[in-house]
Structure 1
């Protein structure tokens, strides 16, 4: 792991992935994108990891794209830009589809792709100092790669405003439109994120992974017999799984299930 990223995994299985490019306001370039994708893939396959907290050091959570990276990409052709954009798309998809719960602790401003990282997380906590902006159109660009995640998070009506205006908005507004779940003082955001991560350890690991997949499968689909059948199959499979059986048995026997550490 380079100085740009750090990973800490505690004894309970909570991993903290921290963005450390303080001098660059945690902006990312092509190398950082590949490195972060690799780090997330490693966490996804690590059986010791139960929850991920995504955090950052310095004044900013992430300023989005690094200026030097953008200058290089401006001199490339369309094919090279496509390959580069696909790497960023892979990063966003990897974070979004991680099979463990993901919690963003946003201590400072997040712009452009930084908003994309936040939108890919399951839970988001932010400080009053955090500001947000989808700045791409100011540069004659568009937030294309992050758009599926941001639109899913804040909805079409808000995306049409903030994609076009590129305006900065507060953490209070971010909470109101659905990008952020809760607010906390700047020095308590990471504490709140870890508190929630600890609470999530009480839940079945496989059940949480299945619940994440369920949201993706059910979202924006019409309620019909096909969807009802899908949901019925999902709960039936979970009930007869080893984890489902253990959870139900533990509840009946009034004891903690075996995934809860004593």
Structure 2
């Protein structure tokens, strides 16, 4: 039987994080928020905790990380919470949300396979970069739009740069209004494989996950360490990056940009 950890009892309609387990050792973590999977702080905390706990479970051999819904994998952090930041401490806490999730992926002893069914923006691109092997559909376009409001992708930057290199990361960051296709992300190494349909992607994910679950667990754990070699300082680095964004979000430029965006939405 599959087991489900339901963080919210109304998980079909409300924000949730769930973890499902199979006897073969395949654990699937799913997160969801009705606002295009834009993640508020409480949901990011639940996600990082679930990744940590699932990875430490001896029964887990491989993790599949995915989001609910069809159109958007993750639209980044909650804009409403961003707009409500009043001081540096609140800014640090806010921008530490994705930092904690990325570090949870990095430190997890289990190999993590990503499932990106739709577009990824900001922190969503960071999540795609933080998994060990990432599948996507042709609809999984990406964008780092942080400069448009006067900050930058400081927290997710190390994970993205590690996957696609400084040149592609610079292009993605500086062309903040540009949406890059899934094919571009595949070419640069963010996505390992891209499929025309979600069904085809899911079939490939299932095949790889079953293969990984059948391999020597110790070998996979040692490979995970090799993959992430040289990142032991990220606990400090990502906190420092979060502090940078936490200061910038209080600037006159960013406050004005946020007001303009809220007026457009209104």
TM range (shorter): 0.7 to 0.9
**Are 1:205 and 2:217 matched, yes or no?**
yes
- Bigger Cα displacement from structure 2, 152-161 vs 90-99: 90-99
Q: Distance in 2 between matches of 1:189 and 1:102?
A: 16
In the other structure, the counterpart of 1:33 is 44
In the other structure, the counterpart of 2:203 is 191
Q: Distance in 1 between matches of 2:98 and 2:163?
A: 19
Q: What RMSD, in angstroms, separates the aligned Cα atoms of the two structures?
A: 1.5
- TM-score normalized with structure 2 length: 0.78
Q: Which of these residues, 12, 22, 25, is aligned with residue 13 of structure 1?
A: 25
**Are 1:163 and 2:170 matched, yes or no?**
no
**Number of positions where the alignment pairs a residue of Structure 1 with one of Structure 2:** 216
Helix, strand or coil at the partner of 1:169: coil
In the other structure, the counterpart of 1:176 is 187
In the other structure, the counterpart of 2:35 is 24
User: Does the Cα contact within 8 Å between 1:55 and 1:190 map onto a contact in 2?
Assistant: no
- TM-score normalized with structure 1 length: 0.79
Superposed, which structure 2 residues align to 1:122-141 within 5 Å?
A: 122-141=132-151
In the other structure, the counterpart of 2:75 is 63
**Structure 2, unpaired ranges of 5+:** 1-6, 232-266
Which stretches of structure 1, 4 residues or more, deviate above 3 A after TM superposition?
none
Q: Which of these residues, 89, 104, 107, is aligned with residue 114 of structure 2?
A: 104
User: Does the Cα contact within 8 Å between 1:51 and 1:200 map onto a contact in 2?
Assistant: yes
**Are 1:44 and 2:55 matched, yes or no?**
yes
**Structure 1, unpaired ranges of 5+:** 220-262
**Are 1:72 and 2:84 matched, yes or no?**
yes
Compare CA radii of gyration and give the structure with the larger one. Answer: 1
Please give the per-residue CA displacement for 1:128-166, whole angstroms capped at 9, x wherever unaligned: 111111111112111111111000111011111111102
Helix, strand or coil at the partner of 1:217: coil
Q: Offset at 1:50? A: 0.7
Q: Distance in 2 between matches of 1:203 and 1:218?
A: 25
Q: Offset at 1:218? A: 6.7
Compare relative contact order (CA 8 Å, sep 6+) and give the higher one, 1 or 2. Answer: 2
User: Does the Cα contact within 8 Å between 1:129 and 1:186 map onto a contact in 2?
Assistant: no
